[in-house]
Amino acid sequence: MDDNGFSFNIAVVGLGLIGGSYAKALRELKPKKLYGIDLNESSLLKAKKMGIIDEGFTDGSVILKEADLVIIALYPEDTVKFIKDNVCNFKDGAVITDTCGVKQMIVEEALSFLPETVEFVGAHPMAGKESQGFDTASKDLFKNSNYIITPHKENSEKSINLIEKMAKAIGCKSVVRVDIEEHDNIISYTSQLPHVIAVALMDSDICKDAIDLFIGGSFRDATRVAAINEKLWTQLFSLNSDRLVYEIEKFQEALNKIKRAIKSQDKSDLEDIFKDAAQRKRMML
């Protein structure tokens, strides 16, 4: 690794929206070599033809031995499987990172498989959009987004710094270190719960002809993420199920409190609940 900071070999695993965006953004940093690993050969060919990757591979057996930094941009279960399947393929001294939206299970599984000669740094880039595949990937996907690194006790400062430096170099605004459990707690509230709600809101048979005329901003906003990627979110929810169930139940209590006030026509109680919510929302803006 010389002075420009990125003249080493990088492998990106999975060239979908997220991995493809990493590859496109990392290409700008002029790494020594940039490799793509994906089961989809046409994505590999396209990426090579565009000059995004130097070479593409359908598995890690050959090329991981050359990779100093490995970015795994797969769904959670596939991330764990890729690590497990390639335990003997990683280069000594390599740093491996991931992009999963839940961290405790991923980090625990990764550490349980990996030898001491390679280091795993868990990370969650808070970037995305509602599309899939290499074609929708963009080198600007990470611009101004937050990048959360969840160090564990065996991580070295040097490896964490490497991921931090990379996250900043691809455009992230804030790169922060957060405790693994705290990450999974907060994410269950700020991301998983709103997705559960959006899905639950669509489960209604009020779909009469005139309904479009009645849909204002509040409904459209609350259901924006209801066109959910079912495989990804099933995995994310399952891997964080205890925390998510806890947050759903807290939300259910809050909902019951409002329902009781509406049912009992307790106007001063309702006004107090609304004032509290409005105040919290304004503080968050």
Measured from the CB atom, is 62 or 277 closer to a second copy? Answer: 277
Measured from the CB atom, is 158 or 220 closer to a second copy? Answer: 220
Measured from the CB atom, is 86 or 191 closer to a second copy? Answer: 191
Q: 182 by DSSP, 3-state: which? A: helix
- Are the CB atoms for 70 and 8 separated by under 8 Å? no
- For residues 112 and 108, what is the distance between their CA atoms, to the nearest angstrom? 6
Measured from the CB atom, is 29 or 225 closer to a second copy? Answer: 225
- Shortest approach of a second copy to residue 181 CB, angstroms? 12
- Shortest approach of a second copy to residue 101 CB, angstroms? 10
- Shortest approach of a second copy to residue 169 CB, angstroms? 19
Measured from the CB atom, is 3 or 230 closer to a second copy? Answer: 230
**CB count, 10 Å around CB of 153?**
5
3-state secondary structure 192-227: HHHHHHHHHHHCCCCCCHHHHHHCCHHHHHHCHHHC
- Are the CB atoms for 32 and 14 separated by under 8 Å? no
- Shortest approach of a second copy to residue 150 CB, angstroms? 12
- Shortest approach of a second copy to residue 105 CB, angstroms? 12
